[in-house]
């Protein structure tokens, strides 16, 4: 049997390969500490889980949900957005529920990309931007993100002939994998660029609520006129430690929201209603758990950054996101340094090349592991020097 070319072209999903290596080590009885996957170790808030328990008993929640989401969930999302960003949304036309932000991002390419079309995709960036483009038959024009530019896509460097051909612009701040953040001034330039070339601006804002030192990442929709071109993706996964429940939403331009709803209504049956009730509770209820979550990650960040610098890695202390993005020691490739760390210390980090060509020379560490394991990893690394790379 022959598989479709789109499947044959797929690289191994980065985290599947990492999980395989971890399994091999653990099968040998070795304890592996993984900074690999951004899956929060902190449980879902108790009051949110209790809402699920109650919702599961309702017969109405045992039936098919609607693809666009419960009206009550869409209202809760719109109200949260108004409180958080000061932006008014019509919950009936400018909000759609998602089975996690990843699902919406993956389906978005089917809304805007025809075979042969071009998407402007950040490199390094979340792999689903490019994979979704490939699934839709399009090609990615990779926008290099560089340290000297604060990991912001240089829109002025995109050749006009490429921008005219492009059908979508992807941005992601706070960034996975770099942890970089963008200002409203930058978003103003991005909105102007999207309007100049008549492009949907798709902004992955899944990490907007995980921030430190009092910083509050802005939304692209805070830019006047952004709703003319922008669709922004939000996730309850990281904000409320709900990765296993799969819930998010997209907001913005009603035409773009409707396009995503139409694709989803043909390909999935929506988010289970009991899960949406959890989301309503999370969005409308107490956010003390979110504040504690951010303090926890900030505490881990403040332990890890100086320790990594002592190992010879170069990195900034991020203002937001779950990730540390570190330059590996001189002479190492991303994969070579990650392999040395795994072989020598049973510690997993993610090679930057898993996020694109421009990720070479960097590794990503997620801070979503217990304080106990953070301390264990730091103890293992105390005084360690990576072996000289093979020539």
* pLDDT at site 390: 61
- The encoded tokens of residue 155 equal 């829109």
For residue 15, pLDDT over 70 is answered with no
Choose among 198, 220, 174: nearest CA to 318. 174
For residue 103, pLDDT over 70 is answered with yes
Count how many Cα atoms sit within 13 Å of the Cα of residue 3 in the half-sphere of its side chain. Answer: 6
1 band by pLDDT with thresholds 50, 70 and 90: confident
* pLDDT at site 21: 79
* pLDDT at site 389: 66
Its pTM stands at: 0.95
> What pLDDT digit, counting tens, does each position of 154-209 carry?
999 999 999 999 999 999 999 999 999 999 999 999 999 999 999 999 999 999 99
9 band by pLDDT with thresholds 50, 70 and 90: confident
* pLDDT at site 235: 97
87 band by pLDDT with thresholds 50, 70 and 90: very high
* pLDDT at site 61: 96
End-to-end CA distance of the chain: 42
Please give the average per-residue pLDDT across 5-27, as a whole number: 78
53 band by pLDDT with thresholds 50, 70 and 90: very high
Indicate the SS3 state at residue 168.
Answer: strand
Contacting residues for 23 by C-beta, under 8 A, at least 6 apart: none
Please give the average per-residue pLDDT across 54-58, as a whole number: 98
Q: How many Cβ atoms from other residues are within 10 Å of residue 220's Cβ? A: 28
> What pLDDT digit, counting tens, does each position of 106-142 carry?
999 999 999 999 999 999 999 999 999 999 999 999 9
Crossing angle (nearest 10°) for helices 288-310 and 371-381: 0
> What pLDDT digit, counting tens, does each position of 259-272 carry?
999 999 999 999 99
* pLDDT at site 214: 96
Delineate the domains of the chain, giving CATH numbers in brackets.
Answer: 5-44+288-381 (3.90.1150.10), 47-284 (3.40.640.10)
Q: 23-27, 39-43, 246-250, 309-313: which range is least confident on average?
A: 23-27
Burial of 390 (0-12, 13-18, 19+ CB in 10 A): exposed
Share of the chain above pLDDT 90, in %: 88
Indicate the SS3 state at residue 117.
Answer: coil
Q: How many Cβ atoms from other residues are within 10 Å of residue 30's Cβ? A: 10
> What pLDDT digit, counting tens, does each position of 281-323 carry?
999 999 999 999 999 999 999 999 999 999 999 999 999 999 9
Q: What whole-number distance in Å separates Cα of residue 331 and Cα of residue 324?
A: 20
Q: What is the mean pLDDT of the chain?
A: 95
13 band by pLDDT with thresholds 50, 70 and 90: low
* pLDDT at site 391: 55
- The enclosing H or E element of 315 equals none
The more confidently predicted of residues 15 and 176 is 176
């Amino acid at each position: 049997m022959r598989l479709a070319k789109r499947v044959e072209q797929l690289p191994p999903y980065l985290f599947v390969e990492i999980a395989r290596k971890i399994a091999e080590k653990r099968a040998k009885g070795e304890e592996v500490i993984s900074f690999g996957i951004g899956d929060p170790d902190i449980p879902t808030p108790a009051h949110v889980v209790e809402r699920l328990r109650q919702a599961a008993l309702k017969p109405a929640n045992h039936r098919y949900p609607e693809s666009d989401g419960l009206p009550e969930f869409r209202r809760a999302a719109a109200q949260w957005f108004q409180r958080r960003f000061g932006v008014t949304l019509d919950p009936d036309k400018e909000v759609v529920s998602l089975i996690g932000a990843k699902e919406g991002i993956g389906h978005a390419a089917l809304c805007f990309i025809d075979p042969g079309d071009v998407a402007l995709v950040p490199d390094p960036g979340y792999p689903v931007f490019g994979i979704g483009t490939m699934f839709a038959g399009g090609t990615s024009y990779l926008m290099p993100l560089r340290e000297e530019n604060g990991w912001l896509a240089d829109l002025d460097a995109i050749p006009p002939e490429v921008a005219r051909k492009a059908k979508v612009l992807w941005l992601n701040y706070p960034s996975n994998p770099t942890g970089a953040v963008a200002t409203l001034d930058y978003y103003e330039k991005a909105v102007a660029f999207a309007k100049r070339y008549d492009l949907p601006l798709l902004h992955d804002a899944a990490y907007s609520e995980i921030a430190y030192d009092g910083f509050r990442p802005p939304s692209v929709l805070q830019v006047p006129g952004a709703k003319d071109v922008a669709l922004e993706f939000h996730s309850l996964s990281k904000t409320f430690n709900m990765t296993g429940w799969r819930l998010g939403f997209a907001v913005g331009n009603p035409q773009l929201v409707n396009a995503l709803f139409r694709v989803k209504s043909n390909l999935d049956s929506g988010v289970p209603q009991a899960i949406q009730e959890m989301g309503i509770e999370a969005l409308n209820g107490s956010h003390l758990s979110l504040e504690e979550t951010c303090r926890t990650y900030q505490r881990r960040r403040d332990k890890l950054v100086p320790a990594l610098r002592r190992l010879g890695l170069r990195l900034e202390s991020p203002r937001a996101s779950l990730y540390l993005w570190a330059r590996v020691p001189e002479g190492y490739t991303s994969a070579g340094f990650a392999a040395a760390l795994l072989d020598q210390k049973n510690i997993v980090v993610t090679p930057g090349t898993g996020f694109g060509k421009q990720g070479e020379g960097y590794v990503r560490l997620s801070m979503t592991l217990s304080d106990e394991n953070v301390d264990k990893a730091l103890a293992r690394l105390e005084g360690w020097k990576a072996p000289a790379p093979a020539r």
